[in-house]
Amino acid sequence: MNLSCAEGHPSEVMDMSFSNQALCAEYLRRKSEELGRRVYPVPLEIDREVARLKLELHGVKVDELTEEQRHYLRSWESGT
């Protein structure tokens, strides 16, 4: 109802949210013996995979940082 009345997030956003929720539920089921009862953040590998698949669906390719770019991001001396 929320989506059809245009008061919620668009379906293009909600599909990623539902994907994260479903994959997190599966993750918690698989890891239930190891994990205690508490709130957990979405595992980074799940979040990245959902994002990668969404971008792939739209034909977006993500390139990798060069070593020079990695160095710049790690350094507080560069670019100041």
38 in any annotated domain = yes
**Residue at 80 is within a domain:** no
Cα–Cα dist 24/41, whole Å: 9
Report d(CA 78, CA 80) in Å as an integer. Answer: 6
Residue 1 lies in a domain: no
List the domain range (segments joined by +) for residue 48: 11-74
What's the whole-number average pLDDT of the chain?
86
Report the domain count for the chain: 1
Torsion sign across C-alpha atoms 66, 52, 28, 8 = positive
pLDDT tens-digit series, residues 36-64? 999 999 999 999 999 999 999 999 988 89
Domain-embedded: residue 24: yes
Which of 48, 55, 61 is closest to 20 using CA atoms? Answer: 48
Establish if 69 belongs to a structural domain.
yes
Is residue 4 a part of any domain in this protein? no
0.75 cut: is pTM over it?
A: no
